[in-house]
Amino acid sequence: MPDLISKEFWKHQINLGLSRFFLLMVLRRSPHHAYAAVQQLRLMTSGCCTPTLATVYPLLAEMERGGYLESQPHFTGARRRLVYRLTPRGEQAYQAAVAAWAEVMPLVQRALEGEQQMAAEVKQDARFAR
C-alpha cells in the first residue's frame, strides 16, 4: 500500500501523469536526445515534474512506436545518441493534451480554492465554538 500521507507520493503521481505531456511540449519546441529533453523539462518545470532517464527512455520508445515521434542517430565523436522530434501525429497529440489540460486545470484550481475556503470556515467555526 502506498503512503498516501507522503507529499512525495503525490508529487510522483503528478510527475507520472505529466511526463508524456511535457515531453511532447519540449520536443515540439526543438528536437532533443533523451538527456537534453530531461534537462529542458527540469528547466521548464523548475525541477517539479522531471522524470528520470529510466522513465523517459521507455516513454520515448512508446511514443516513437505510436508514430508521435521519430528519431535519427546523431554522432558526437564516437558517441551515438538518438535525437527525437515531433511528427505531425505528435503535434496532434500535443494539441489534444493542451485541450484536455486547459479543461481540467480550472476545475482543479476551483476545487483547491474551495478546500482552502472550507478550511478557513472550519477554523473560524472552531474559534466561535469555544
Angle between helices 53-65 and 7-29 (to 10 degrees): 50
pLDDT above 70 for 51:
yes
Residue at 2 is within a domain: no
Domain encompassing residue 94:
7-128
96 lies in a domain?
A: yes
111 domain residue, yes or no: yes
Name the residue type at position 16. Answer: L
pTM above 0.85, yes or no: no
- How large a percentage of the chain has pLDDT more than 90? 55
CA distances from 107 to 97, 103, 104, 118 (A): 16, 7, 5, 16
Query: Locate cell 497529440: which residue?
Result: 93
103 torsion bin: left (phi>0), alpha (psi -120 to 50), beta (else): alpha
Q: Is residue 61 part of a domain?
A: yes
- How far is the C-alpha of 21 from the C-alpha of 112, rounded, in Å? 22
Question: Cβ contacts of residue 53 below 8 Å, gap of 6+?
Answer: 34, 35, 38
Instruction: Kindly tell me if the per-residue pLDDT of 55 is higher than 80.
Output: yes
- Does residue 37 lie in a domain region? yes
For the chain, the domain total comes to 1
CATH number at 62 reads: 1.10.10.10
pLDDT tens digits, 7-21? 888 888 888 788 899
In-domain check, residue 43: yes
Structure letter (DSSP) for residue 48: T
Q: Please tell me the predicted confidence (pLDDT) of residue 121.
A: 66
| Crossing angle (nearest 10°) for helices 7-29 and 88-128 | 150
Residue 59 covered by a domain: yes
Residue 1 falls within a domain, yes or no? no
β-bridge partners, 74: 81
Is-contact 53 34, C-beta < 8 A?
A: yes
